[in-house]
A and B are shown apart, each in its own frame.
Chain A
Amino acid sequence: MTYIIVSILLGIIMLLMTGIAILHKNMVVAIIAAGVVSLFASVLYLLLAAPDVALTEAAIGSGLSTIIFFYVLNKIRKNNVAE
């Protein structure tokens, strides 16, 4: 029973974070929200007995891709300022 409640809570948090990632005006907040979605997704995978997938999601989804988004954001900002 607690398992189901925790899963549903995780799902609600993920949906909220997805909304923030799509709708927020500030890009930095949106990128961090997208990273948090991956983080909670990896916890959910762990609960669903898929530790392999959880490891991949935690390292690539919330680690590497967030940093790459920040690098790209930094680059886009510079180009916008130059114009």
Chain B
Amino acid sequence: MLRNSLIFVLVIAVGVIFYSLFTQFDGNDELSDLAQFYAQKENIDKVGSANLVTAVVVTYRGLDTLGEVTILFLTAAIIGFFLKGKLEEGKREVRPSSEILQTAAAVLIPIIIVFGVYIFINGHLTPGGGFQGGAIIASAIILMLLTRPTMPFNHKLFSTIESISGLSFITLGVLGALFAGGFLDNRFIETGTVGELISGGAIPIIYSFVGLKVGAELSNILGDFQEVQNEK
């Protein structure tokens, strides 16, 4: 009884706290100063990217992207540290997956991977980018692990891909600092015409490496989880 009334009091208190947020909210009719700076015509032309969000995320806020990738790497490393397992072939008893799943996976996995690659290569033109493409590639890996649960997971390959992509990302950032305006500046390569596939300077290259890195990290996490399934 006391506990229930406490919960009730807590709900009312939260309601009181957020009530002013509800009543005093009115949407902005115009962009804030910082957003206005980013949305200026000359600044869009400067980075040469059709997708303004990407231009901000990769160039102006490139350091934030680097930080996010680092956090994801840390997460993958911690999960890998705690879930040390080794999946021995044939040791885990599982029902064989159905023929429908196997056939569908064989058709869909290449398409999903190509779609993920498409999303991060076209990151400077269409919505999406490195993180989204990487997550889609990792969902293809999930489908693979669901279809063949006893398949050994090649951690070494994914770790190598991840390390090389991370190193290239930093290298491109340093190249930007040396030959253009600053760290992670995309203009050390010709920006080209806005809207073409090969344009936007280093943005597509940086996003490809971010996509590969994110995809490899998420796949590594999934592989770790899959390997501890057979432990007692």
- Whether a CB of chain A sits under 8 angstroms from the CB of B135 is yes
Question: How far, in Å, is A58 (CB) from chain B's closest CB?
Answer: 9
B137, closest chain A residue (CB): A59
Closest to B145 in A: A67
How distant is the Cα of A63 from the Cα of B138 in the complex, in angstroms?
Answer: 9
Q: Say yes or no: is B165 at the interface (Cβ < 8 Å to chain A).
A: no
B226 within 8 A of A: yes
Interface range, B side: 20 to 34
Residues of A within 8 Å of B226, CB to CB, are: 71
Nearest-neighbour CB distance to chain A for B215, whole angstroms, equals: 10
Contact across chains for A71 and B135 when beta carbons are under 8 A apart: no
Min distance, Cβ A78 to any Cβ of chain B, angstroms: 7
Bitwise, B114-134 to A at CB < 8 A (1) or not (0) is: 000001000000011101100
At the interface, yes or no: A19 with Cβ under 8 Å from chain B?
Answer: no
A75 close to B119 (CB less than 8 A): no
Question: Which of B119, B139, B225, B232 touches A63 (beta carbons < 8 Å)?
Answer: B139
Stretch among A3-11, A21-29, A32-40, A49-57 lining the B interface? A49-57
**Interface residue A1 (Cβ < 8 Å from any Cβ of B):** no
Contacts of B142 in A (CB 8 A): 63-64, 67
> Which residues of B pack against A, CB within 8 Å?
53, 119, 127-129, 131-132, 135-136, 138-139, 142, 146, 218, 221-222, 225-226, 228-229, 231-232
- Residue numbers of A with Cβ under 8 A of B are 51-52, 55-56, 59-60, 63-64, 67-68, 71-72, 74-75, 78, 82
